[in-house]
């Protein structure tokens, strides 16, 4: 029986099938498709304890600090900043030009952050963070504890650098302002990111599943509430740069994958591509059919810095990210992949929130090639009932 | 599964297929003679207006704004248009729209195509060139040649404006604008003339027949060939009409007429005011609503026109068309990134036919919940032409509206308690079993097997025919004897712009039999109606024609006659 036949069958399912799923009855192996509906830096929000040294200053504050450092008098600095924030679309404020060239010998400080002295970024000193124990060590001084599971040894130095910047702080379920702004760009500007989970024999427990992360050729569309529309169809981009196959298992409804590299093309406006090493996924298969969890791994820290700095004054100005301070912080907190010559770490431990909704993932351009499309089309998660329905019917239920 | 005797047996027993004499194409019309209806004055509907502008001036001309809403009467806007006038604000809207269209018609992009001559001087009047343009354009807009007086007025107005404004095309712009707000354009004005074959009686003139024919079959203004036929008097003869009907029913444009009819019959104008709660039905959007209408119209034209299929199969067909947006509602993959692709539901999929499509399901539901009552009422009124009385004013709907009542998990349970009220029971027994058959589909058309964790049961009975699920329900409607009767009645009313009179009951009954014998082929039905004398016949004032509207009882009489 082809998969197409399976998914169309399910619309006649009865409640008993849902009960069978809830009871965890064994079923035929299923493949489920998803489209990523949220992706953003994972930031734990625990209150003042996260940042005992306080939060980092707003851009007006560190701009004034820098103007004074550059020799401007207090009245002149105040006068220069009187028009803040100026025209958000154009760098027509004089202070913006001065800030952009505040490096040594008026060097572009965003492209050459080391032309400026380290202003010092206030970093996270709290105990908790989300992520993975990427190096296997639980007693490392940089280790965090997972606030939900209590797991020790969590490595997330990226959060340590970002977590005391105001635009990265938000009590859940709100997303941090800058993370939300970045995803708003990625979600609507780039083709969709797709996830397929193959080998599911039981929604709660499956020993061997294969997770494929890829990029589509189609963009997401929104539903009436503004969220990413579920159950849409997406064709997979055959570009192998964004094709990642991971192996893992599902235990108690939580999917965890083994460490693997993950590379996926993003959008040049923000970051051309993400490329993690020793990356892992931890995703909950939720009853409503969606996924919710964490992607963690080591990432080139300079690429992450440049994802902010490439916009120059824009994010520094609007999101209060002091670029030289961020640069030095990331460099300081990098915790993996030492350069063989300098010994400096090139990668930093990271964690990102991932949410995904059911989608049809299609692996062929040829709609008449049923063999290929049958093999490639995967079922939205909630359609597993349908498959199960067909299977149970075949058993005479 | 249909559990009772299929009404098809009733039709099968008729055995009159071979005895039917075709009308039109020069063959003898053996249909019962009717006394006709009044000469009509019908306001163009907004879709008709837009289609006419596209056909006369091209699809690149944008039609800005919206018009006054149309009136639905006897199940059709086409009938309501005979009762419509234009209010002051409506005329202002027509005027604004006309100005916008006229400006585009003569702009530098379009004038070389739409103006058939070049003025001697672009900065001054050129009455000869203006007359050529006005004569050609006015004929298509007024659906007849302009009279000498009309021509003189238009040419004079265009010339004086051109001279005053120093621009020939500004004069034409004013002329086009004036024609577009004139009653001769906005209203399809039929005209009668003495009937030379029947002393003392009148008949529609050729141009009136051309308009009836063109809007009925093509949903637009008569083309040049049809107007030429009217001018030559061809439409005053059976053979002349048959020739034009033959040409028009063999044209791809017949699909536009079929689409217009079903769009009217299915009440798609209701989508302009339709809203769903985005928190409950986030997948439902204005684009989904637009796609849903198009899906149903594509399903119907593919079945009825492209494949010349059986009308009753519209209730059971598993073939349809989908966009990706609709695919997300139906929960099926759609390969095509943009646009439409054919789709066929699996044999055991409960979704089949147009009743199980998003358009019908969403149009006949509340914003935040489904409504078996509204759906049942709609099915009876739209597809079976059975009038269901409005509810009394003092009904307490609290029980039905409380979807979270722990004592009544499903709509069936809530309605079951509601109809214990004696004033409600009568009508609900007519509507609810029909609507409950569609309860597997929520207000936005999405599938569900349970409501409040309770299994939804869709078994029921309609007019003595039992079914045990949605699939069986579609088969029952497929075989319902009133469905073809209703369709014939509706199509005839759509074409004539009025409800059929009791005087025409026998003629309609005859057409129903022809429709059945033809295999329920809609294009053939339209051809037969368009070729018939009854379609053009007008009543003579002062005669004893029984022009009382054919009531639901009348249509039931037809059903009885079929039996």
pLDDT digits (tens, 9 = 90+) for A204-251: 999 999 999 999 999 999 999 999 999 999 999 988 889 999 999 999
Q: Are A158 and A129 in contact (CB under 8 A)?
A: no
From chain B, the residues in CB contact with A290 under 8 A are none
Please enumerate in sequence order all residues whose Cβ is within 8 A of that of B339, keeping only pairs 6 or more positions apart, or say none. B323
What's the confidence (pLDDT) of residue B418?
A: 66
CA atoms of A5 and A9, how far apart (whole Å)? 6
Q: Enumerate chain B positions whose Cβ falls within 8 A of a Cβ in A.
A: 276, 278-279, 281-285, 324-325, 327-329, 331-337, 341, 345-346, 348-351, 440, 447, 449-450, 453-455
Pairwise CB contact (< 8 Å): B345 & A223:
no
* Omega of the bond leading into A268 within 30 degrees of 0 (cis): no
Strands A379-380 and A30-41: parallel
Structure tokens at B448: 């569900």
Question: Residue B285: which of A5, A12, A223 has the nearest Cβ?
Answer: A223
Report the residue of A231, A363, A370, A383 to disrupt the B interface, i.e. the one with the largest count of B CBs within 10 Å: A231
Pairwise CB contact (< 8 Å): B331 & A383:
yes
What's the confidence (pLDDT) of residue A380?
A: 52
CA atoms of A366 and A374, how far apart (whole Å)? 11
**What SS3 class is residue B275?**
coil
CA distance B346 to chain A (A): 6
- Identify the bridge partners of residue A156 per DSSP, sorted by sequence position: none
What's the confidence (pLDDT) of residue A141?
A: 95
Q: Are A219 and A235 in contact (CB under 8 A)?
A: no
Cα–Cα–Cα angle for A99, A105, A111, rounded to 5 degrees? 60
ipTM of predicted complex: 0.82
CA atoms of B223 and B138, how far apart (whole Å)? 12
Structure tokens at A325: 């301070």
Closest among A170, A74, A156, A87 to A123, alpha carbons compared: A156
Binding-face residues of A in 209-268 toward B, CB within 8 A: 217-218, 221, 223-225, 227, 229-233, 235
- For chain B, the first-to-last Cα distance in angstroms comes to 23
DSSP state of A115: G
Question: Residue B449: which of A13, A229, A235 has the nearest Cβ?
Answer: A13
Pairwise CB contact (< 8 Å): A224 & B281:
yes
CA distance B456 to chain A (A): 9
CA atoms of B36 and B543, how far apart (whole Å)? 11
Pairwise CB contact (< 8 Å): A8 & B350:
no
Exposed/middle/buried for residue B391 (C-beta within 10 Å: 0-12, 13-18, 19+):
middle
Pairwise CB contact (< 8 Å): A221 & B455:
no
A19 touches B at CB < 8 Å: no
CA atoms of B55 and A140, how far apart (whole Å)? 77
Angle between helices B46-57 and B127-142 (to 10 degrees): 140
A1 touches B at CB < 8 Å: no
Closest among B309, B320, B333, B331 to B359, alpha carbons compared: B320
Q: Are B388 and B372 in contact (CB under 8 A)?
A: no
Pairwise CB contact (< 8 Å): A232 & B279:
no
Exposed/middle/buried for residue A181 (C-beta within 10 Å: 0-12, 13-18, 19+):
middle
- DSSP-assigned states of every residue in B416-432: HHHTTSHHHHHHHHHHH
What's the confidence (pLDDT) of residue A16?
A: 28
Domain edges within chain A: 30-54+124-382, 59-115
- Identify the bridge partners of residue B447 per DSSP, sorted by sequence position: B441
Q: Are B438 and B361 in contact (CB under 8 A)?
A: yes
CA atoms of A267 and A189, how far apart (whole Å)? 7
Name the closest residue on chain A to residue B352, using Cα atoms: A11
Report the residue of B274, B282, B320, B331 to disrupt the A interface, i.e. the one with the largest count of A CBs within 10 Å: B331
Q: In Å, how far are A92, A327, B180 from B125, measured between CA atoms?
A: 54, 74, 21
Name the closest residue on chain B to residue A19, using Cα atoms: B453
Q: Are A239 and A190 in contact (CB under 8 A)?
A: no
Name the closest residue on chain B to residue A11, using Cα atoms: B349
Closest among B526, B557, B554 to B260, alpha carbons compared: B526
Question: Residue A233: which of B285, B324, B345 has the nearest Cβ?
Answer: B324
CA atoms of A360 and A155, how far apart (whole Å)? 34
Residue spans of chain A under pLDDT 70: 1-27, 86-92, 365-397
Query: How many other C-beta atoms are found inside a 10 Å radius of the C-beta of residue A256?
Result: 18
DSSP state of B380: I
Pairwise CB contact (< 8 Å): A377 & B282:
no
Per-residue confidence in pLDDT tens, chain B, 563 aa = 333 333 333 333 333 333 333 333 444 568 898 989 999 999 999 999 999 999 999 999 999 888 888 999 999 999 999 888 888 889 999 999 999 999 999 999 999 999 999 999 999 999 999 999 999 999 999 999 999 999 999 999 999 999 999 999 999 999 999 999 999 999 999 999 999 988 888 999 999 999 999 999 999 999 999 999 999 999 999 999 999 999 999 999 999 999 999 999 999 999 999 999 999 999 999 999 999 999 999 999 999 999 999 999 999 999 999 999 999 999 999 999 889 999 999 887 889 999 999 999 999 999 999 899 899 999 999 999 998 887 777 777 777 777 877 777 787 777 776 677 666 777 777 778 888 899 999 999 999 988 878 888 888 889 899 998 888 999 999 999 999 999 999 999 999 999 999 999 999 999 999 999 999 999 999 999 999 999 999 987 765 445 566 554 334 333 333 33
Tell the residue number behind the tokens 């299609």, with chain if given: A362
What's the confidence (pLDDT) of residue B551?
A: 52
Please enumerate in sequence order all residues whose Cβ is within 8 A of that of B394, keeping only pairs 6 or more positions apart, or say none. none
From chain A, the residues in CB contact with B348 under 8 A are 9, 12
What's the confidence (pLDDT) of residue A388?
A: 36
Question: Residue B283: which of A229, A235, A360 has the nearest Cβ?
Answer: A229
A387 touches B at CB < 8 Å: no
What's the confidence (pLDDT) of residue B403?
A: 80
Q: Where are the alpha helices (DSSP H) in B41-146?
A: 46-57, 77-80, 88-105, 111-114, 127-142
What's the confidence (pLDDT) of residue B416?
A: 74
Question: Residue B351: which of A11, A227, A367 has the nearest Cβ?
Answer: A11
Pairwise CB contact (< 8 Å): B447 & A229:
no
CA distance A362 to chain B (A): 7
Please enumerate in sequence order all residues whose Cβ is within 8 A of that of A71, keeping only pairs 6 or more positions apart, or say none. none
- DSSP-assigned states of every residue in B117-139: S--S-TTS--HHHHHHHHHHHHH
Question: Residue A223: which of B283, B324, B335 has the nearest Cβ?
Answer: B283
Pairwise CB contact (< 8 Å): B346 & A221:
no
Closest among A86, A79, A71, A57 to A322, alpha carbons compared: A57
Tell the residue number behind the tokens 């577009």, with chain if given: B180
């Amino acid at each position: 029986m082809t998969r197409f036949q399976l998914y169309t069958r399910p619309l006649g399912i009865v409640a008993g099938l849902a009960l069978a799923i809830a009871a965890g009855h064994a079923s035929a192996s299923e493949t489920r498709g998803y489209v990523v509906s949220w992706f953003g830096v994972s930031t734990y929000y625990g209150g003042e304890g996260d940042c005992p040294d306080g939060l980092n200053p707003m851009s007006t504050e560190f701009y004034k600090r820098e103007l004074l450092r550059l020799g401007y008098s207090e009245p002149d600095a105040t006068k220069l900043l009187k028009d803040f924030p100026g025209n958000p679309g154009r760098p027509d404020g004089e202070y913006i030009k001065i800030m952009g060239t505040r490096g040594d010998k008026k060097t572009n400080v965003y492209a050459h952050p080391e032309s400026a002295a380290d202003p010092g970024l206030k970093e996270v000193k709290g105990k908790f963070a989300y992520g993975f124990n990427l190096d296997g060590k639980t007693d490392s001084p940089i280790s965090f504890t997972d606030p939900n599971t209590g797991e020790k040894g969590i490595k997330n130095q990226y959060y340590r650098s970002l977590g005391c910047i105001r635009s990265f702080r938000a009590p859940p379920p709100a997303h941090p302002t800058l993370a939300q702004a970045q995803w708003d760009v990625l979600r609507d500007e780039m083709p969709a990111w797709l996830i397929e989970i193959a080998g599911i024999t039981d929604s709660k427990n499956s020993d061997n599943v294969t997770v494929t992360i890829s990029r589509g050729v189609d963009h997401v569309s929104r539903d009436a509430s503004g969220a990413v529309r579920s159950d849409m169809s997406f064709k997979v981009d055959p570009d192998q740069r964004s094709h990642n196959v991971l192996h893992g298992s599902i235990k108690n409804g939580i999917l965890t994958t083994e460490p693997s590299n993950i590379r996926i093309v993003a959008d040049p406006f923000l970051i051309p591509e993400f490329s993690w090493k020793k990356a892992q996924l931890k995703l909950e298969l939720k009853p409503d059919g969606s996924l919710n969890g964490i992607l963690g791994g080591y990432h080139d820290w300079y690429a992450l810095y440049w994802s902010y700095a490439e916009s120059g004054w824009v994010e520094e100005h609007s999101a209060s990210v002091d670029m030289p301070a961020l640069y030095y912080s990331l460099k300081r907190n990098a915790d993996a992949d030492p350069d063989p010559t300098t010994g400096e770490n090139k990668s930093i431990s990271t964690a990102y929130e991932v949410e995904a909704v059911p989608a049809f993932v299609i692996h062929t351009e040829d709609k008449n090639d049923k063999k290929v499309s049958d093999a490639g089309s995967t079922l939205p998660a909630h359609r597993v009932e349908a498959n199960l329905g067909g299977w149970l019917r075949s058993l005479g239920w | 599964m249909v559990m009772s005797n299929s009404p098809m047996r009733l039709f099968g027993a008729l055995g009159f297929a071979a005895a039917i004499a075709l009308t039109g194409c020069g063959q003898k019309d053996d249909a019962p003679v009717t006394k006709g209806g009044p000469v009509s004055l019908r306001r163009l509907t907004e879709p008709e207006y837009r289609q006419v502008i596209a056909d006369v001036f091209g699809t690149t001309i944008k039609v800005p704004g919206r018009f006054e809403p149309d009136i639905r009467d006897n199940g059709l806007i086409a009938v309501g248009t005979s009762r419509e006038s234009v209010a002051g604000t409506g005329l202002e809207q027509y005027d604004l729209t006309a100005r916008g269209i006229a400006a585009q018609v003569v702009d530098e992009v379009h004038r070389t195509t739409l103006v058939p001559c070049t003025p001697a001087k672009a900065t001054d009047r050129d009455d000869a060139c203006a007359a050529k343009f006005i004569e050609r354009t006015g004929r298509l807009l007024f659906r007849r040649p302009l009279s000498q007086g009309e021509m003189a007025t238009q040419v004079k107005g265009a010339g004086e404006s051109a001279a005053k404004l120093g621009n020939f095309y500004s004069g034409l712009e004013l002329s086009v604008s004036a024609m577009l707000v004139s009653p001769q354009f906005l209203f399809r004005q039929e005209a009668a003339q003495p009937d030379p074959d029947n002393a003392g009686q009148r008949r529609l003139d050729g141009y009136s027949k051309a308009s009836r024919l063109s809007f009925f079959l093509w949903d637009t203004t008569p083309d040049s060939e049809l107007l030429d036929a009217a001018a030559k008097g061809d439409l005053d003869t059976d053979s002349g009409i048959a020739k034009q009907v033959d040409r028009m029913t063999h044209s791809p444009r017949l699909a536009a007429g079929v689409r217009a009819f079903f769009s009217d019959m299915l009440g798609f104008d209701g989508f302009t005011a339709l809203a769903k709660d985005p928190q409950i039905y986030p997948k439902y959007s204005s684009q989904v609503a637009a796609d849903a209408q198009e899906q149903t119209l594509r399903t119907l034209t593919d079945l009825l026109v492209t494949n010349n299929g059986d009308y009753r199969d519209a209730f059971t067909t598993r073939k349809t068309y989908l966009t990706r947006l609709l695919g997300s509602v139906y929960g099926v993959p759609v390969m095509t990134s943009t646009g439409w692709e054919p789709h066929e539901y699996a044999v055991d999929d409960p979704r089949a036919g147009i009743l199980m499509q998003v358009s019908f399901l969403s149009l006949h539901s509340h914003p935040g919940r489904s409504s078996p009552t509204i759906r049942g009422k709609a099915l009876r009124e739209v597809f079976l032409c059975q009038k269901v009385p409005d509810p009394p004013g003092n009904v307490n709907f609290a029980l039905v509206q409380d979807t979270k009542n722990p004592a009544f998990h499903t709509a069936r349970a809530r309605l079951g308690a509601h109809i214990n009220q004696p004033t409600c029971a009568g009508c609900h027994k007519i509507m609810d079993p029909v609507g409950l058959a569609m309860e597997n589909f929520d207000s936005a058309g999405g599938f569900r097997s349970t409501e409040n964790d309770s299994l939804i049961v869709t078994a029921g009975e309609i007019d003595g025919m039992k079914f045990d699920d949605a699939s069986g329900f579609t088969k029952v409607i497929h075989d319902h004897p009133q469905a073809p009767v209703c369709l014939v009645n509706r199509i005839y009313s759509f074409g004539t712009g009025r409800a059929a009179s009791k005087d025409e009951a026998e003629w309609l009954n005859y057409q129903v039999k022809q429709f059945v014998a033809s295999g329920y082929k809609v294009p053939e039905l339209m051809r037969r109606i368009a070729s018939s004398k009854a379609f053009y016949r007008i009543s003579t004032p002062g005669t004893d024609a029984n022009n009382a509207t054919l009531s639901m009882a009348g249509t039931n009489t037809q059903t009885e006659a079929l039996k």
